[in-house]
Amino acid sequence: MQDTAGAAPEYPGDDGVTDDFGLAGVPDAFQRLWTPHRMAYIKGGQHQFKNVDDCPFCVAPEREDDDSLIVYRGRTSYVVLNLFPYNPGHLLVCPYRHIPDYTDLTVEETAEFAELTQTAMRVLRKVANPTGFNLGMNQGVTGGAGIAGHLHQHVVPRWGGDGNFFPIIAQTKAITQTLGEVRQQVAEAWPQVNGAGPAGGGATDAQ
């Protein structure tokens, strides 16, 4: 019997799209999840966004919804997918105004901010059937806010076993859907309120 221990797995069609050139390296038992898109955030750190001009939460509503990952635009706030999700469907509720603190919200903004958070939970339950949620706002740099200058609330769906050894030990999170797929599912399931509908691709003048 041929000894195949340590041999790389073979996949149908590999021979037709690969050559015999071998890059340096020694095979091992580890799987690699390549996430180069995170490098820009890691290098910049949490102090990289200080002004309205370079704040991603201010820029996002000015772009197409598909590009910005916006799932719903409200009167004073909007809902967007987190570019660095803890779990699939990780949403952020953001006011249009560039304000840093929860106490800076007006009464009207506070009401819609809470309403959108509740709707986000209902929609995620409908499309993804999570068994729990984490809701939270990190206030200020010392409070752990990644972008401290613009208030945002996290809505993270949770499932049993999603906090396994992978993120705890390896600091790696496996995401099972693309952001585009999740955005489409959530946007299509978002209920129409007062004549408004799910984000459809245009800029807003709600600011």
113, 66 in Cβ contact below 8 A? no
Task: For residue 186, give the nearest of 42, 64, 71 by alpha carbon.
Answer: 71
Q: Which of 90, 150, 152, 154 is catalytic?
A: 152
152 is catalytic: yes
177-180 contacts at long range (C-beta below 8 A, 24 or more positions apart): 177/88, 179/69, 179/81, 179/83, 179/85, 180/66
* Nearest 10 degrees: Cα torsion 113, 115, 118, 124: -80
The upper half-sphere exposure of residue 198, i.e. CA atoms within 13 Å in the direction of its Cβ, equals 15
What is the distance between the alpha carbons of residues 40 and 184, in angstroms, rounded to a whole number? Answer: 25
At 18, which amino acid appears?
A: T
Q: Which residues are catalytic?
A: 152
